[in-house]
Amino acid sequence: MKKSIMAKPLLLCTLLLGLTAPVNAADKATDTAVNQPNSKTRFQNVVARVNGTPIYAREFKRTQKILLAGKPITAIPADKQKDFENHVLNQLISTELLYQLSSKQETKDLDKQIDSKVAITKKRFKNEQDFEKAMSALDMSPQDVRDYARREVMITNFVQSSIVAKLSVSEDESRKFYDQNIERFKQSEAVKASHILISVADKATAEERKAAREKAGKLRKEIAGGADFAALAKSSSSCPSSKQGGNLDYFIKGQMVPAFEQAAFALKVGEVSDVVETRFGYHIIKITDRKKAETIPFKEARPWIEERLKKMKTSAAVQALVEKSRKESKIEKLTP
């Protein structure tokens, strides 16, 4: 099994990561909304102004939460707190500058694009209740969500039309990247495997382990007798992969626990292992495909290289644009 296969699945990214565009790719800038104040007291919580447009402490705190991915602010070492706060504020300022630039051009079907962006974000959550809970944790109202989406859509369209559409990557550039990064295109030997796991708890008794081993052995005999491997995996395996008939996809050496890996790589395509014991329990492994170690040829790698170089050029161009805009704008940083 993969070394992390028994770990709990990571939680989905927070809303902001679903709404943001690569406004400042060097720092993975965070998109943010400037909410108009509902009372005069809101003006007392301004942390910065960009060409007169305020950025509120509410946005500053929200962005901190998102960048910390749910961890407390104390997770930042005391001697790094100021640097972190400056980083957050600079991202908010960069995003506001890009938003102001994007506001100078028309965005077609803006409301439809906003609706689509919000709908996509909601799909990241299991249900409406989970979505609303996440929004509440970020102190976001439905209007805040639309404001974030609006800014993301406008900035994305602006970057696409003013930068990305004008970029190109030549064959010579791609070839140079390929030659200078040839190690990236060396593909290790890999196997594609399915397995059936009869799990055993860490504190299982000798009797419980014996019962699990016997169950695995019985299943192995059924497979030898012609039983369908995927069907048995779906009905008997305790691994989450059971939903896919035990399919673990491709993996290379070093990704699985040693005993599992050794057994898997010793098999030929179509072969099924004997019962294999690991710290997770007892496995029956079937190899369904194998890839030899090779270097991906330039022709095959070129589309990926072009996409990567275009993203790198876009990031550099966006950052240069933001820096130029900073010099031409009036920016006031206030105490958070």
Q: Would you give per-residue pLDDT tens digits along the chain (336 residues)?
A: 544 322 222 222 223 333 333 333 223 333 333 333 343 444 458 999 999 999 999 999 999 988 887 777 778 888 999 999 999 999 999 999 999 999 999 999 999 999 999 999 999 998 999 999 999 988 899 999 999 999 999 999 999 999 999 999 999 999 999 999 999 999 999 999 999 999 999 899 999 999 999 999 999 999 999 999 999 999 999 999 999 999 999 999 999 999 999 999 999 999 999 999 999 999 999 999 999 999 999 999 999 999 999 999 999 999 999 999 999 999 999 865
Contacts of 325 (CB under 8 A, 6+ apart): 97, 98, 100, 101
Sheet holding 53-56, edge to edge: 53-56, 46-50, 331-333
**Rounded-to-integer distance, Cα 57 and Cα 35, Å:** 11
Report residue 294: phi and psi, to 5°.
-160, 165
Query: Considering only the top CATH level, what class is 15-170+308-333?
Result: mainly alpha
**Rounded-to-integer distance, Cα 218 and Cα 53, Å:** 71
Nearest of 164, 148, 138 to residue 114 by alpha carbon: 148
CA 239 to each of CA 7, 8, 64, 72: distance values in angstroms, whole numbers, following the listed order: 11, 12, 36, 33
Contact present, 94 and 29 (Cβ < 8 Å): yes
Helix axes 298-328, 171-180, angle to 10 degrees: 100
> What is the second-level CATH architecture of the domain 189-292?
Roll (3.10)
Q: CATH 3.10.50.40 in the chain: give the residue spans.
A: 189-292
- Prediction pTM value: 0.65
Half-sphere exposure of 318 (CA within 13 A, CB side): 31
Nearest of 216, 294, 288, 210 to residue 249 by alpha carbon: 288
CA 275 to each of CA 217, 234, 271, 284: distance values in angstroms, whole numbers, following the listed order: 6, 18, 13, 5
Q: How many helices (H) and strands (E) does the chain have?
A: 11, 9
